[in-house]
Amino acid sequence: MGRLKRFKAPKINTVIGNETRIEGDLKFTGGLHVDGVIHGNVIASEEGRAALILSDQGVVEGDVRVPNIVLNGKVVGDVHSSERVELASNARVTGTLYYKLLEMAMGAEVNGQLISSEEPAKMTKNTTAVEQKAPEDEVKKIGPEKIQAAGGGINTHNS
């Protein structure tokens, strides 16, 4: 059985102090440590190695698009990670969290959806989360209004 590679965060290039408030989108490369408040989107301009560390004092009110994320503060917006997300005990996310690998400590909160995949799932009006997440050999589709999991354990009905 393969072992997961231990995440090694890049060197922190930028620090946003706890007395700092940024209005507008923030684009960065390398490592970003946030103790302050950002009212705007946080976007890494490089794939793979870029990392965001949001301390327990840090707040982001906007979307986050960073490959590697360590959250211990508050995010109000969607979080998109192409690699790894670590939610520490004080993390609070209000929005959808897209991730490839998720580590969540006791006490962390996500008020929204958790979507695990290489690409975010495309949800349509007539599609349920069970259809998106369950392997095909474990779910038998009965009709557009009903899905039955193998063994009859889960039934969903759209009204």
Q: What is the pLDDT of residues 32-57, one digit of tens each?
A: 999 999 999 999 987 768 999 999 99
CA 49 distance to own-chain centroid: 17
99 and 49 co-located in one domain: yes
Say how many domains are in the chain. 2
The model scores a pTM over 0.85? no
In a domain, 143, yes or no: yes
Nearest-angstrom CA–CA distance, 148 and 69: 36
Phi and psi at 114, nearest 5°, equal -110, 120
127 and 107 co-located in one domain: no
Summarised one tens digit per residue, pLDDT across range 13-23 is 999 999 999 99
104 and 73 co-located in one domain: yes
For residue 101, pLDDT over 80 is answered with yes
In a domain, 49, yes or no: yes
Nearest-angstrom CA–CA distance, 152 and 138: 10
For residue 120, pLDDT over 50 is answered with no
32 and 104 co-located in one domain: yes
110 and 126 co-located in one domain: no
In a domain, 86, yes or no: yes
47 and 101 co-located in one domain: yes
52 and 130 co-located in one domain: no
112 and 137 co-located in one domain: no
76 and 30 co-located in one domain: yes
Tell me the percentage of the chain whose pLDDT exceeds 70. Answer: 67
Domain that holds residue 110: 12-116
In a domain, 5, yes or no: no
Nearest-angstrom CA–CA distance, 88 and 122: 28
139 and 64 co-located in one domain: no
| Segment 60-65 mean pLDDT | 98
**For residues 90 and 107, is the Cβ–Cβ distance under 8 A?**
yes
> What is the C-alpha end-to-end distance of the chain, expressed in Å?
44
24 and 97 co-located in one domain: yes
